[in-house]
Amino acid sequence: MRIAYDNIIDDLTLSAFTVIGTATGFPITNVQEQRLSVRYRSAACTAQSIIIDFATAQSITTAAILGHNISASATASSCILSGCDDGSTWSSITTITRNVDAMLKFFATTTNQYFKFSIDDPGNTDGYIEIGRLWLGTYLQIEPSSLIDFTVTKKRSDTVTFGKNRQKYATPGESWREFELSFPRTGGSALTAIQTMFDAVGNHSSVIFTQLDSDYSYPIIYPCYCSINGDGITFSHDKYMRFEYSLELTECK
């Protein structure tokens, strides 16, 4: 089980980004917005690139593209993450395979000052690339994890009312998932890491959660852009300063 919660792109200013073209009203800084519905849009859908200059070298193990319109016809190598230290001599780090909503990739630690997302999607009938969130950072490996004791609830925001004679009136909404995770006795650095994560994101910031690390075989637990739900995390002491705890995560759009 992994949670990525520190997106190092979020604190950058506009001058840190270099893009080939941008559609009016959809600036690249929209990828820093928590809401996936606030999007960056390119001026075309072929040979697009987004270069990010962090000013100093940064170490990352996680890359993600969220809330995108990259088409199903895109090949496995349609999105490539590269890095360099001089802004011109690029080395490929990984490809990020196209998937619906969350395109997520974990890899060995890579350290560079510049990172580049290269996207090529000639089959995209929209004529542009749209992205809600770009993500670079590291991830928290949760051990012991909640591999058995967890619940996934599919929910919807449909508005439904009934008339006096049970006539049904409905407006379709959106679907989302909620994860209820229960963790076994945990102590030491693993317990500290969970507290550090919660102190950083609370309920205000979203995270990327994946139940089975890099195994995306099961749609019901496919990687999720979500937030921690509830007032906090309750740690129940068992013995020897080891605690059981639960997490509730709600998918965000």
CATH number of the CATH domain containing 43: 2.60.120.260
Same-domain status, 57 and 173:
no
What kind and span of H or E run contains 199? helix 188-201
Instruction: Examine the fold and report which residue of 110, 140, 170 is the final residue of a domain before the chain moves on.
Output: 140
Asked whether the predicted pLDDT for residue 139 surpasses 80, the reply is yes
Q: Which residue has the higher pLDDT, 74 or 62?
A: 62
Same-domain status, 25 and 133:
yes
Task: Look at the chain and report how many structural domains it folds into.
Answer: 2
Do the domain assignments include residue 218?
Answer: yes
Asked whether the predicted pLDDT for residue 76 surpasses 80, the reply is no
Q: Answer yes or no: are the C-beta atoms of 103 and 216 closer than 8 Å.
A: no
Same-domain status, 102 and 215:
no
The two tokens of residue 7 are: 């997106």
Same-domain status, 77 and 191:
no
Amino acid at 6: D
Same-domain status, 36 and 108:
yes
pLDDT in tens, 166-218: 999 999 999 999 999 999 999 999 999 999 999 999 999 999 999 999 898 89
Give 246's contacts (C-beta < 8 A, 6+ positions apart): 180, 181, 182, 183, 233, 234
Domain that holds residue 108: 2-140
pLDDT of residue 47: 94
Same-domain status, 113 and 196:
no
How would residue 77 be classed by pLDDT, with cut points 50, 70 and 90?
A: confident
Asked whether the predicted pLDDT for residue 33 surpasses 90, the reply is yes
How would residue 75 be classed by pLDDT, with cut points 50, 70 and 90?
A: confident
Q: C-alpha distances in angstroms, 225 versus 40, 123, 150, 215, 237?
A: 17, 26, 17, 16, 30
Q: How many CA atoms lie within 13 A of 154 on its CB side?
A: 6
- pTM assigned to the model: 0.92
Average pLDDT of the residues in 145-155:
93
Instruction: Examine the fold and report which residue of 87, 108, 140 is the final residue of a domain before the chain moves on.
Output: 140
pLDDT of residue 147: 86
Query: What is the rounded average pLDDT for all residues in the chain?
Result: 95
Average pLDDT of the residues in 46-57:
97
Asked whether the predicted pLDDT for residue 30 surpasses 90, the reply is yes
Average pLDDT of the residues in 48-53:
97
pLDDT of residue 136: 98
pLDDT of residue 232: 87
Same-domain status, 166 and 73:
no
Same-domain status, 114 and 202:
no
Same-domain status, 55 and 126:
yes
Percent of all residues in the chain with a pLDDT value above 70, rounded to a whole number: 100
Same-domain status, 125 and 12:
yes
Do the domain assignments include residue 64?
Answer: yes
Same-domain status, 159 and 129:
no
